[in-house]
Structure 1
């Protein structure tokens, strides 16, 4: 759903740019409460993984494909504020390096694909988690529903933006019906990818899933004949002698595994992705929204179109471009998240987990 230049007029593009800038500023501040030295590199990995999976267009209808938006996935894995930043980093890399999504439409894309999807998904996810049984499976189910709803919500948001600043005179009812209709189907694919990814991570390292924080029942210790809660930071040994906190588990293995997965998806599996236009491209062509579409400012980029210029072999060209994109995204994303992280002591990190990530 990358909006190109020329779909939305200048005043509305500027207005959405202001909204996007404000959302990013708020997210930078909020991310400090979600990130620490351990989770900041993982947030960069999430951004790189979303970049890779967005290259995997899947068929949803005759002549139409869809791809992951990623707002729900990012919000559940690393938190809503960090999630907005993850999608913003991905969109920035795609627009600058690969000429995917207009530069003048960057505010539209961040507002629609980054802010709307993440906020809608997280509100639904958090609401469901509160009413479902406090189990890991509830996190997976909630992430599925949140992702499913977030995609047509983004389609609705684009329709509203188009109504305010569309450069072509197309009846808004036709745009709404076409956009929401096809993106409901895309939402099913989004939900499946999100639930599978969240389920895989939570099965291996539930402590690293932001949306799963606070769901585990507290450890009970019997002291003086009574059961008391044991905090993650300290226990009781003998006659009240405190036990040192157990060092946090390393994230290196899951980080390396996730990076390898992203590189394989972008560098190899992407060659087999659907070549059909995605939902927005199809609707734009069918309804005439693209009549005033403009060539991307970076159309001559060496990586434009997710291929490396002057490499004739499509498989090698696309695979190398995907690897470069994943590498660039993980470096830029990790650098940003490392810079904005909040430096915490082990006791503070344990308190954050015990409080469900609200510390």
Structure 2
């Protein structure tokens, strides 16, 4: 375990962002390390996760989760060691994944949303990505809502991110043709050369609609939506009858302060859904699929170990650099799953 400290660094939400977050929206403070009470354990975080959903929690707009209160600790999942335990079933030295950890060195837990990890796992940070919430999201959304069939065309945006990369690789394992969409030639090359996608297109190019039509001559059977914006505009005309659209995120719109310019697209979308009999379904992973997490791990863990599903991480050193890491993530500056190393 890492050496214990006598202070707990915490990053709080100092103010609500208007548009894109800025460093002034966060504040780093120090407090005493908490002591576990009855039925609690003290966790020492070693890796924490940065994810797009955090931008939504910084807003006070109505959503599926309560907004973070001003001066509260920013939320996140973290890989942690159990330091002290008054909770049956856990003891010091256990390695766990906690989804209620927060941007801080230490947290108290009653065991809710905590999963035990193998203390000898070679890459514990993978519990935040391919073997954690993002991988679980891609896996369940694709297989349960997308229901890909061999020979079908699957398109996924943010193709080299922790969700999109899992969607594409699992779709290939299921015998599909996979077209990714990513930001920049390096990410597109990685999706094809390393992840095994059949094609990957740069969403930064004005030619995206034409490029996507050329890459999908038989149309699109499954579109995994985690981007929104102009990517979905390019996808819509290509959706086949009875196509499926799992929706887990809209990162292109998270920093928006008003509706996009141009004509109202809702009537076009509604007519398309009806005429093509399209299934478009949003989901929140643990709300919809929490009990399926063990079966996901049982299938994904050997795929990762055998190299059938490849992993790329964007690592940031130091809790104090988490705010800039989230800002960069929302601007597409990351390449792979963003994790922050807090302790050795």
- TM-score norm. by structure 1 comes to 0.22
- TM-score norm. by structure 2 comes to 0.23
Name the larger-Rg structure.
Answer: 1
Structure with greater contact order relative to length (CA < 8 Å, sep ≥ 6): 1
